Amino acid sequence: MSLARAAEAAGADCAMAVVPYYNRPTQEGLRSIFWPSRGAVSIPVMIYNVPVRTGMDISADTLVRIVEEAPNVVATKEATGNVLRAQELVRRLARASRC
């Protein structure tokens, strides 16, 4: 999150955090990676899930937990190509919407 802090200090309106490349953490590991966004910056954060590039897919359950725990995580760029999953995320996260 140090780059997000630097971006915020430089005047960025928001930050995007991508699922880590190549190291393939567990879903709990992914949650812990994004947990620091909870207080590291005050700007909104978007999580970019692009499994074809990173080799790791953040599950809908994990993403929902992150959003519930980190109030500044306000969006996801969901690049799985799975329309049903996108619909599930919309349904499950509509109650947590802050945008």
Which residues have a catalytic role annotated? 48, 77
The tokens for 24 are 């393939």
CA–chain centroid gap for 10, Å, is 21
Where do the H-state alpha helices sit in the chain?
2-9, 27-34, 37-40, 51-54, 60-69, 83-93
- 62 exposure class (CB count in 10 Å sphere: 0-12, 13-18, 19+): buried
